[in-house]
Chains A and B, each alone.
Chain A
Amino acid sequence: MRLFEYQAKELFKQYRLPVPKSVLVNDVDGIRGAFASLTPPVAIKSQVLAGGRGKAGGIALVDDPTEAEREARRIFSLSIGGERPNSLLVEQAYPHDSEMYLSVSLDRGDRAFVAIAASAGGVDVESMAGKVIRRISLDGIDAAFADEVAALLKLPQDQASQFVAILLSLERLAREKECELAEINPLAVGKDGTLMPLDAKIIIDDNALFRHPEFAKLHPEDEFEGEASRQGFAFVRLGGDIAVVGNGAGLVLSTLDLVGDAGGNPACFLDLGGGAQQERIEAALRLVNRLPGVDRILVNIYGGITRTTDVAAGINTVLAEGVVKPIYARVSGAEEDEAQKLLAGTPVKMYKTAPEAVEAVVKGA
């Protein structure tokens, strides 16, 4: 789960990491009051989870309240990676000479958490020059570890001591809150040499949320995502007109590829999970049936532990409810002949293979 910048900065404050003074506003009306509580220039920053908000015009630097209001109105109307900002962080701008980079993240390939630091920040971590990468023990780091990173970055003494404190706090935050990523980019170096995190990116390990009830209600949930999560489905909205439903993440992912290759636009990714029962199929079909934009439904089931006859029975139940959009189905695996018999004479279009079902659903034939 990725946190909004303002949520990440609240965590920073808890861990005594420095952050610029700021006010969160939820509408244009709040902007003048927020501006007045700060000293110009002031940064107005859209609070979205999508990347590239700066490029998309989601951040503005303003000097007076009229400009602030105008920019706030403009930013609220933006769609950044398909996401509309629900709030703006109005923040004291921080004049600085240079920018650094610092993060604690999971290195999947090395199967370890690592600290990454660079004395020159940048958009792309991969290509950052002179970056320092150090493995972090699951039990944490000590001051000697942080000192070594500061020394490798060749920081002047006054900056080194600030850097050490920031790295120790960031690592403790990442470990205690079970972050997959805790990143400060940029870490600004002020004209007087004071280090200040200007942006904060935090991704919490979803699988560890049971140990962190404090994050439970942090995000406003989409109605459909909420329903899917209660049902235990893996579900992602994709905006097209063909709902894609299947059992198993890899199988659904590969079905999306087939739909995309055939020129279709998936409305969603819905993974029923392994061993799906009849009730789960029914719940999934009801959910995608009322998802806005869905025109037809593609069901791709490879029955193993999931019984294909259960799938067929589930489809029949929702058909009987009389509320279902056209279904194109490939139901294969154990007892598939039996399943096909159950669906014979219904409006469901059945196919032997996934590519055949995909071709038909994309054409809408």
Chain B
Amino acid sequence: MILPKQGESVLVQNMTGRYGRLHTRLMLDYGTNVAAGSAPGKGGQSVEGVPVYNTVAEAVEKTGARASVCFVPAEFTLAAGEEALNAGIKLLVIITEHVPVRDELRLVQLAQSKGASIIGPNCPGIIIPSEKVKLGIMPAASFAPGGVALYSRSGTLTYEIAGQLTGAGFGQSVAVGIGGDPINGTTPVEWMDFVQGMDSTKVVVTVGEIGGDAEERLARHIEKSRYRKPVVAYIAGRHAPKEKKMGHAGAIIYGDYGTADSKIRALSAAGVKVAMTPSQVPALVRQSLG
């Protein structure tokens, strides 16, 4: 995965929609170089002074952007994602919620064949405070530059924990919401390997929730790969009922599969410090840094 540097051009897909407009402004306010947008049939318009093109290919050609933030509605996300990946986008951030799982799988396969990365869908995006790069919808005020790499399956919980970390003096090297769906464009394991290579990251905070076995897989990976950076985790949903989707499409326990207890046990056994509430996270980060 290649993350944009400060000042690097990025695109917004469906820039002329309500969320596209709002977040184009907020990303620009943060200092991110939103250089162009795309929206079929809206070529020639502009949003916040940023030119809009009919296609991603045209926007890429004009700006050289390699990253795109996609605000296209779920029904059309597959087509929009394919358009971006085929136009040479290497980092595709899909904010959209409610994308069908088979569409997500098709996009993941296409990204793999193109050597590209997807973040999301159903996520707040990614923020790199030291580079003033924000590709997504997170509130900038919760984040500050620092040494914590934060990733989460949930949006507001990311903001909450980032806000508490920032308040306690722990800024973030990078923070990402990987998405609340059963399928993530970038998996926790891929993400953990990526941040291990970031010099600016001193400690990793992972925020998981009920559903699936991503955290169990992560725990095995931390053990097997002898992960070199300290890891702190928080898992939401210890009191969630079974067989009920808890807001996120991916947050569901089937039988004994996907419980918070199973995840907490696996992570603890792998040497991860597990917080029982979001407010315990900063103290565990402090402990990890020694």
Give A residues with C-beta under 8 Å from B: 2, 49-51, 81, 106, 108-109, 111-113, 124, 126, 138, 178, 180, 205-208, 210-211, 234, 236, 238, 246-254, 256-261, 266, 269, 271, 274-275, 302-305, 332-334, 353-355
Known: A138-B105, A210-B75, A269-B246. A250 touches B156 (CB 8 A): yes
Interface window among B42-50, B83-91, B207-215: B207-215
Do A304 and B156 touch (CB < 8 A)? yes
Is A205 a contact partner of B102 (Cβ separation < 8 A)? yes
Q: How far is the CB of B281 from chain A (nearest CB, A)?
A: 11
Supposing A250-B248, A257-B236 touch, asked if A106 and B156 sit within 8 A by C-beta, the answer is no
Contacts of A257 in B (CB 8 A): 236-239, 260, 276-277
Interfacial chain B residues near A126, Cβ < 8 Å: 257
By a CB distance below 8 angstroms, the chain B residues around A2 are 243
Q: For A50, A206, A208, A248, which residue has the most chain B Cβ atoms within 10 angstroms?
A: A248
A-chain residues with CB within 8 Å of residue B240 when the two chains form the complex? 253, 256
B residues neighboring A (CB under 8 Å): 19, 22, 74-75, 98-102, 105-106, 108-109, 124, 137-139, 141-142, 152-160, 163, 180-183, 187, 207, 209-214, 217, 234, 236-251, 255, 257, 260, 276-279
A275 surroundings in chain B (CB, below 8 A): 19, 22, 137
Q: Which residue of B lies closest to A235 (CB)?
A: B247
Given A206-B249, A207-B100, A236-B244: A111 in contact with B108 (beta carbons within 8 A): yes
Residue in contact with B213 in the complex, picked from A109, A111, A205, A355, CB distance below 8 Å? A109
Given contacts A250-B158, A253-B240, 18 further A-B contacts (CB under 8 A): A2-B243, A51-B243, A106-B101, A111-B105, A138-B106, A178-B102, A207-B99, A207-B181, A208-B100, A234-B246, A249-B246, A250-B157, A253-B251, A254-B237, A271-B247, A305-B139, A333-B159, A355-B277
How far, in Å, is B168 (CB) from chain A's closest CB?
13
Chain A residues with CB under 8 A of B180: 249-250
B243 x A249 contact (CB < 8 A): no
Candidates B108, B109, B246; contact of A253 at CB < 8 Å: B246
Cβ contact of A111, chosen from B183, B249, B260, cutoff 8 A: B183
Q: Which residues of A contact B137 (CB under 8 A)?
A: 274-275, 305
How far does the Cβ of B72 sit from chain A's closest Cβ, in whole Å? Answer: 14
Task: Tell me if A260 and B101 are in contact (CB < 8 A).
Answer: no
Docked Cα-Cα span, A126 to B256, in Å, equals 10
Cross-interface CB contact of A206 among B187, B212, B245, B279, cutoff 8 Å: B245
Q: Is the CB of B210 within 8 A of A253?
A: yes
Residues of A near B100 (CB, < 8 A) are: 178, 205, 207-208, 211
Residues of B contacting A304 in the complex (Cβ-Cβ under 8 angstroms) = 138-139, 141-142, 156, 159
Residue on B nearest A209 in the bound complex, by CB: B100
Q: Can you identify 6 A-B contacts, CB atoms within 8 angstroms?
A: A109-B212, A124-B255, A138-B102, A250-B180, A250-B248, A332-B163
Closest 6 CB pairs of A and B: A250-B154, A248-B156, A249-B247, A304-B139, A260-B239, A250-B157
Q: Which residues of A contact B279 (CB under 8 A)?
A: 353-355
A209 CB to nearest B CB, Å: 9
